[in-house]
């Protein structure tokens, strides 16, 4: 017997396009805006991107120049970690492509950038797309983290493009993937490959944001998914009244996810990495902040609470960041020798001789399991894998020690029983919210409009997102406009900078205004599950962050 499921019902959902794009491909025109410059180090970016630099902003609508239709063979890849809505970017791209000309072809390269390098692809058809519309995950064609950044790689991709007669490649990814898209576009233009490159902004972390990209796709769904889980834990905590829950949330560098989830759920404590870094806050002070909330709540008989911890927090604590930097440097030079040391005592002795006195002091104050996590296998760049450090457990142990001191001083007489959680993968492949389903479909549709206009080195851009889709606007922004130079591995490299939480922005200020009350009282808010059917104000609502930013 067949049972109806959310998956089967969602296949038939028709995403909402911006009103300006609903007249059909043939009725859409393009207008040019201003010529652009880089976000930083303009001369260096101009030097690195002589073919792309200075391109104009583009806007789509009913008035302007009508693009010339021609036959297209387009390749598409999903790059980096999963984000809800990726399938809808491909669906929007496919539908626009076929609307432009039924003979147009879309090739899905499997496993991310490596699919382009290995010429591993499938031809996407209406039947293929139908199985994945409005669903989460990247399983239609898979993803990968191979970087396209060398001339040899660009040459291989160019040969693959020529082999298939590809007129364009769409790269759906985050800041690094879109930086690589710009580099690939520049190479193609310089060598007259005849293949355009268009990017789409993806990452649940919310750190691919600027004046032209109001939100990266997947952030809306992921934060709503995590907020539901946090709300469930809050309800349980307020029922059992005996546990302090330390919840670490995904977000490698920025704290956007933690901040949005705090605004949605009202935890007792939410740490913001960017604030910790700005204020130079050490671990002891962070522990005191949490312990103060525990004590205040215990005096009211509330021996329970919720602490939200951003995944990347540990690297923003100055003393720990210095420790990690010294460990990275030590192991980069002597990793093989260190790995051969047979005992923990010998490894500890090696570190003692290599680290500064201050870093060794910090290392010694950490629990043994955290010390071991700092010395685990490195990431491909030789750095500590921060996501594997159980920061939530580290904080609860330091807080427990502080509370024991307060108890001995007669300043605390409560009970502290910590529980630990890490929410990350639960949100990366969730069914996209209506917002993400609509937004992603619009990004894919707009990507084809950019292709049809002959653009390369552009990112698909849909703006005015705090309003209903009727009021959204669509266009394209040059990737070089978003770029700056960073020193990486001893070399100057072009990058699209990660956008961290703005401590002067309205979302953070709203959180800061209310957190003292949340720390002492039980003000929990229970968002519940993402709603897909019902009134628009409930089902199509954007994040609190986006709404507050629109008020600025």
> Which pLDDT score, from 0 to 100, does residue 381 have?
55
173 and 242 inside one domain: no
> Which pLDDT score, from 0 to 100, does residue 1 have?
46
**Spatial separation of the C-alpha atoms in residues 402 and 397, rounded to whole Å:** 9
350 and 445 inside one domain: no
Residue 333, CA distances (Å) to 88, 162, 195, 491 in order: 45, 43, 42, 18
401 and 452 inside one domain: no
Q: Which of 208-212, 235-239, 418-422, 477-481 has the lowest mean pLDDT?
A: 208-212
Query: Choosing from 176, 205, 207, 212, which is the catalytic residue?
Result: 205
Buried b (16+ CB within 10 A) or exposed e, 464-492: ebbebbeebbbbbbbbbbbbbbeeeeeee
Tens of pLDDT, residue by residue over 258-315, are 999 999 999 999 999 999 999 999 999 999 999 999 999 999 999 999 999 999 999 8
Give domain status of residue 330, yes or no.
Answer: yes
What single string gives the DSSP state of each residue in 239-278?
HH---EEEEEE--SS--HHHHHHHHHH--SEE--HHHHHH
What single string gives the DSSP state of each residue in 92-130?
HHHHHHHHH-TT-EEEEETTTHHHHHHT-EEE--HHHHH
> Which pLDDT score, from 0 to 100, does residue 380 have?
56
> Which pLDDT score, from 0 to 100, does residue 487 have?
77
250 Rama sector, left if φ>0, alpha if ψ -120 to 50, beta otherwise? beta
386 has a pLDDT exceeding 90: no
206 Rama sector, left if φ>0, alpha if ψ -120 to 50, beta otherwise? left
93 and 175 inside one domain: yes
> Which pLDDT score, from 0 to 100, does residue 252 have?
80
Cα end-to-end distance, the chain, whole Å: 53
Query: Coil, strand, or helix at residue 67?
Result: coil
**Spatial separation of the C-alpha atoms in residues 425 and 249, rounded to whole Å:** 10
Which single residue is written with the structure tokens 């707009």?
A: 446
Name the percent of the chain in helix, strand, coil, to the closest 5: 45, 15, 35
Tens of pLDDT, residue by residue over 18-52, are 998 988 898 899 999 999 999 999 999 999 999 99
239 and 193 inside one domain: no
Q: Are 106 and 94 in contact (CB under 8 A)?
A: yes
> Which pLDDT score, from 0 to 100, does residue 375 have?
81
Q: What is the pLDDT averaged over residues 322-346?
A: 85
Which of 473, 496, 519 terminates a domain? The answer is 496
Which single residue is written with the structure tokens 């879109």?
A: 178
Count: domains in the chain: 2
Q: Are 519 and 77 in contact (CB under 8 A)?
A: no
Residue 27, CA distances (Å) to 60, 68, 100, 105, 441 in order: 10, 12, 11, 21, 18
8-state DSSP, 205: T
Tens of pLDDT, residue by residue over 87-136, are 999 999 999 999 999 999 999 999 999 999 999 999 999 999 999 999 99
- The closest of 65, 83, 72 to 170, measured between CA atoms, is 72
206 and 152 inside one domain: yes
Q: Which domain holds residue 66?
A: 24-218+432-496
264 and 403 inside one domain: yes
Residue 229: pLDDT band (50, 70, 90) is very high
> Which pLDDT score, from 0 to 100, does residue 173 have?
97
Give domain status of residue 151, yes or no.
Answer: yes
**Spatial separation of the C-alpha atoms in residues 154 and 100, rounded to whole Å:** 28
**Spatial separation of the C-alpha atoms in residues 376 and 385, rounded to whole Å:** 8
> Which pLDDT score, from 0 to 100, does residue 447 have?
98
Q: What is the mean pLDDT of the chain?
A: 94
Give domain status of residue 460, yes or no.
Answer: yes
> Which pLDDT score, from 0 to 100, does residue 382 have?
57
Give domain status of residue 255, yes or no.
Answer: yes
175 and 289 inside one domain: no
Give domain status of residue 268, yes or no.
Answer: yes
484 and 376 inside one domain: no
Which of 478, 496, 514 terminates a domain? The answer is 496
Give domain status of residue 519, yes or no.
Answer: yes
Residue 319, CA distances (Å) to 71, 171, 314, 323 in order: 58, 38, 9, 6
381 and 514 inside one domain: yes
Which CATH number do you get for residue 139?
A: 3.40.50.450
**Is 175 an active-site residue?**
no
228 and 335 inside one domain: yes
121 and 34 inside one domain: yes
Which of 479, 496, 513 terminates a domain? The answer is 496
Which CATH number do you get for residue 409?
A: 3.40.50.460
Give domain status of residue 7, yes or no.
Answer: no
Q: How buried is residue 535: exposed, middle or buried, by Cβ count under 10 Å (0-12/13-18/19+)?
A: exposed
Give domain status of residue 447, yes or no.
Answer: yes
337 has a pLDDT exceeding 60: yes
**Spatial separation of the C-alpha atoms in residues 59 and 272, rounded to whole Å:** 36
> Which pLDDT score, from 0 to 100, does residue 3 have?
65
Tens of pLDDT, residue by residue over 138-158, are 999 999 999 999 999 999 999
- The closest of 51, 134, 32, 24 to 90, measured between CA atoms, is 134
- The closest of 250, 295, 301 to 269, measured between CA atoms, is 295
């Amino acid at each position: 017997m067949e049972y109806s499921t959310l998956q089967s019902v969602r296949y038939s959902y028709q995403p909402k396009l911006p009103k300006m794009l609903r007249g059909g491909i043939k009725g859409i025109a393009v207008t040019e805006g201003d010529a652009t410059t880089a976000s930083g180090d303009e001369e260096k970016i101009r030097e690195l991107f002589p073919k792309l630099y200075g391109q104009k902003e583009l806007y789509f609508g009913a008035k302007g120049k009508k693009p010339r239709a021609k036959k297209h063979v387009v390749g598409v890849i999903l790059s980096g970690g999963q984000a809800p809505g990726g399938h809808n970017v491909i669906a929007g791209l496919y539908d626009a492509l076929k609307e432009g000309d039924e003979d147009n072809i879309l090739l899905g390269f499997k496993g991310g950038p490596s699919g382009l390098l290995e010429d591993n692809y499938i031809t996407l058809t209406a039947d293929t797309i139908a199985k994945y519309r409005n669903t989460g995950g990247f399983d239609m064609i898979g993803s990968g983290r191979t970087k396209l950044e060398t001339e040899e790689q660009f040459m291989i991709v160019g040969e693959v493009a020529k082999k298939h007669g590809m007129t364009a490649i769409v790269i759906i990814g985050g800041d690094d993937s879109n930086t690589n898209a710009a580099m690939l576009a520049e190479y193609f233009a310089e060598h007259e490959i005849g293949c355009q490159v268009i990017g789409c902004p993806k990452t649940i972390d919310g750190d691919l944001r600027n004046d032209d990209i109001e939100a990266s796709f997947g952030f809306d769904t992921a934060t709503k998914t995590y907020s539901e889980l946090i709300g469930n834990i809050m309800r349980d905590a307020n029922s059992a009244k005996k546990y302090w829950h330390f919840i670490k949330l995904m977000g490698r560098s920025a704290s956007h996810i933690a901040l949005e989830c705090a605004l949605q759920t009202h935890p007792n404590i939410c740490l913001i990495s960017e604030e910790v870094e700005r204020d130079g806050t050490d671990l002891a002070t962070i522990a005191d902040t949490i312990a103060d909330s525990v004590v205040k709540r215990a005096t009211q008989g509330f021996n329970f609470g919720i602490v939200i911890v951003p995944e990347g927090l540990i690297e923003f604590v100055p003393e720990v960041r210095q420790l990690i930097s010294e460990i990275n440097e030590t192991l980069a030079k002597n990793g093989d020798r260190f790995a051969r040391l047979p005992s923990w005592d010998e490894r500890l002795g090696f570190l003692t001789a290599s680290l500064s006195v201050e870093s060794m002091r910090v290392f010694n104050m950490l629990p043994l399991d955290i010390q071991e996590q700092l010395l685990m296998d490195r990431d491909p760049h030789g750095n500590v894998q921060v996501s594997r450090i159980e920061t939530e457990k580290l904080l609860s142990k330091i807080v427990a020690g502080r509370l024991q001191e307060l108890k001995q001083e007669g300043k605390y007489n409560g009970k502290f029983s910590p529980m630990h959680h890490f929410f990350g993968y639960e949100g990366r492949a969730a069914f996209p919210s209506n917002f993400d389903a609509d937004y992603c479909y619009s990004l894919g549709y707009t990507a084809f409009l950019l292709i049809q206009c002959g653009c390369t080195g552009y990112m698909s851009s849909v703006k005015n997102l705090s309003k209903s889709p009727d009021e959204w606007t669509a266009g394209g922004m040059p990737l070089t406009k978003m770029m700056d130079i960073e020193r990486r591995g001893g070399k100057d490299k072009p990058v699209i900078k990660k956008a961290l939480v703005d401590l002067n922005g309205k979302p953070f200020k709203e959180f800061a205004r209310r957190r003292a009350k949340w720390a002492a009282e039980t003000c929990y808010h229970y968002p519940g599950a993402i709603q897909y059917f019902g009134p628009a104000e409930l089902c199509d609502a954007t994040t609190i962050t986006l709404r507050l930013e629109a008020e600025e």
